Amino acid sequence: MTDDEIADVLMRLARERGAGKTFCPSEAARALSEDWRDLMPRVRAVAAGLPLVATQKGQAVDPLEAKGPIRLGLAEGET
């Protein structure tokens, strides 16, 4: 699986939700692999390079530095 494939799934999920809505990165990992837990660090790393905002408890966070669950959504102005 390539980073481009991960990016495609992340952006598809974000666009399906639309502006102002979020999703759990594990949704992308589950769509890509049965061993989704092992994929989570890569999903977060790929998400960090996309026009997505990572949040934790409603506050923007760095998806590579955040500990615990995060949510991802489209960055402002993205469609």
Residue 39 lies in a domain: yes
Q: How confident is the model at residue 77 (pLDDT cuts 50, 70, 90)?
A: confident
Residue 79 lies in a domain: no
Helices 25-32 and 36-48 cross at an angle (nearest 10°) of 120
Q: Give me the pLDDT at residue 76, please.
A: 82
Model confidence pLDDT, tens digit, residues 31-74: 999 999 999 999 999 999 999 999 999 999 999 999 999 999 99
8 pLDDT higher than 80:
yes
Q: Is 42 left (phi over 0), alpha (psi -120 to 50) or beta?
A: alpha
Residue 29 lies in a domain: yes
Radius of gyration of the chain (CA): 11
Count the domains in the chain: 1
Section 7-18 average pLDDT:
97
Q: Give me the pLDDT at residue 1, please.
A: 87
Residue 37 lies in a domain: yes
